[in-house]
Amino acid sequence: MRGLEAAVRAVLDRRLRRSGPPLAVALSGGGDSLALTLMADAWAHAQGRELVILTVDHGLRPESVTWTERCAGLAARLGRRFEAAVWTGEKPTTGLPAAARSARHRLLAEATRRAGAKVLLMGHTADDVSEAAAMRAAGSTTPSPREWSPSPAWPEGRGIFVLRPLLGVSRADLRSWLEARGETWIEDPANDDPRFARSRARAAGAPWVEPVDEEPPLALAALASEAGGVISLPRSALAAASEPEVTRLVSLATVCAGGGSHLPAASRVARLAAALRDGDPVVATLAGARVEADSAEFRVFREAGEARRGGLADGIRPCVWDGRFELHGDGPVRRLAGAARRLSPTERASLRGLPPAARGALPISMDDGAARLLAAAETPSLVGARLRAAAGLIQREPD
């Protein structure tokens, strides 16, 4: 079992800084997350780092309150800070596992941010990789868990990364490790409920699948620049790149610049990527973003004419506006579209560096009929950082 602990420590050493802000770990009380929490606690103690234990109560079973109490008890035993988040509101009658997963990621991301952490540890194992493969073979779109990735919750997960150090470890080995330590864990009856695809895959004994290789960083994205929410790239870089690279860039750039939370349809991305590689002028809209390309430059930015999507327009500051800008100041914010003439001459001149079609989607404030562009300090753009994270250009805990 020492080999198991050494393997997990090696992942933590490779992905995490020796010193830094608090580290968050998601604990459900099940065997996988319990083993991860104990190993993360030992690693954090060795590094002198704070560990915050987070639990989500989905409110789907009467035992959930007791489960949360058990998680709180473990945190107290370890002397670690603890927070429990509750999934409130009506639950869907169909697609419950996907909705619960989405809510869990959102709540964990919010709690991770409150804790001051940038990395959330989650206890997916090699068995989860195999079960996800079996589910896809049966027609599901469930993705395979990856060792390192940005939080899938947007905008709640902005700047937060998820690390899964147990992907090379089997569920059975983790339970043997826990038993050797005299630990007990929660068994969720939902894991045996045949209504759910993952439960069926688990019951059928999903064949072993090697953990998915990490998707290599998208070097093409490293050539991109971003200002005012506009992603730019030399057209020559697209011509020199492979078709899969251009396709991946288009998919990521449009969702990041558009401020949404879902990647566009693969068929539409493929058609647009092919047109961009051909070299002819291109104007298109996709995932709430406008794509423009001439012979010199490829640009992606928010389509000003579409309704706001994918962001939190209101709430306690800082919050996210239109899925693209983080608001720190006070007062209402709106799009520039229709109010450009109310800007001062100096501010109108400052817009000349942006594509004309991109200007209407910029955030402004209004005061006595006069419009004011919000400065970057008040509303920093999230677009460039989001693209770098999604493209895999950040491979370990950021500074």
State the binding site: 28-33
Which residues define the annotated binding site for ATP? 28-33
Q: Please name every residue paired with 335 in a beta bridge, in sequence order, or none if there are none.
A: 363
Letter string b/e over residues 362-378, b meaning 16 or more CB atoms within 10 A of that residue's CB:
bbbbeeeeebebbeeeb
**Of 163, 160, 162, 55, nearest in space to 118 by CA:** 160
The answer to whether 398 and 16 are in contact (CB under 8 A) is no
Residue type, 166: L
Q: Where are the alpha helices (DSSP H) in the chain?
A: 2-15, 31-47, 64-78, 96-114, 126-137, 171-180, 197-203, 219-222, 235-240, 243-258, 266-278, 345-350, 356-359, 383-390
Please name the residue ranges forming H helices in 263-324. Answer: 266-278
Distance in angstroms (rounded) separating the CA atoms of residues 221 and 255: 14
Q: How large is the C-alpha radius of gyration of the chain?
A: 23
